[in-house]
Amino acid sequence: MPIRKFFLPFCLCVLIFGLSGFAAAEDRSCSYCGMYKSKFEHSWVIIEHEDNTLVNVCSIHCAAIDMALHTDKNIRKITVGDYDSKTPIDAERAYWVIGGDIMGVMTARAKWAFETKDGADNFIKKHGGRMANFREVIKTAFEDMYQDTLMIRRKRNLINLRKNQSQ
């Protein structure tokens, strides 16, 4: 009898905590910086290599890091989140905007993908920037890498400093 009193609550706890853990496990994180897909679907990049490996990263910045580190791996396909709908689209066919007044993900100079030309044009009208193709976007990501890396390090140092001061 006493076992039955504890069995049902125990099963409920396992079910509740087990499912919440499962949901958290579903949220992918960037292979390089650890940021979560649920917060960055509008810039999420998936690189599919010819050896069938997939790399999930939060941004074109982190995608460029992966490309630099794995020059020996041929890329089959790259998808990126559409800025407006957050759905994955073909990076080569996307309408890209470089720059504008909205800070990019892991970069000071934003690089946003749009499924439609109208989406990109509307963004440029509201926020500035210029239209680009995927090749220009990757080139710009590599050109920005040094300054972006310094910016990221400064931000992380400030975060760590604040953590240490509050302890």
Stated pTM of the model: 0.80
Q: Which of 139, 141, 138, 157 is nearest to 107 (CA)?
A: 141
Task: Decide if 31 contacts 57 (C-beta within 8 A).
Answer: yes
pLDDT digits (tens, 9 = 90+) for 72-91: 999 999 999 999 999 999 99
Structure confidence at residue 5 (pLDDT): 52
pLDDT digits (tens, 9 = 90+) for 4-39: 554 444 443 444 444 444 444 468 999 999 999 999
Contacting residues for 127 by C-beta, under 8 A, at least 6 apart: 100, 101, 102
Mean pLDDT, range 130-140, rounded to an integer: 98
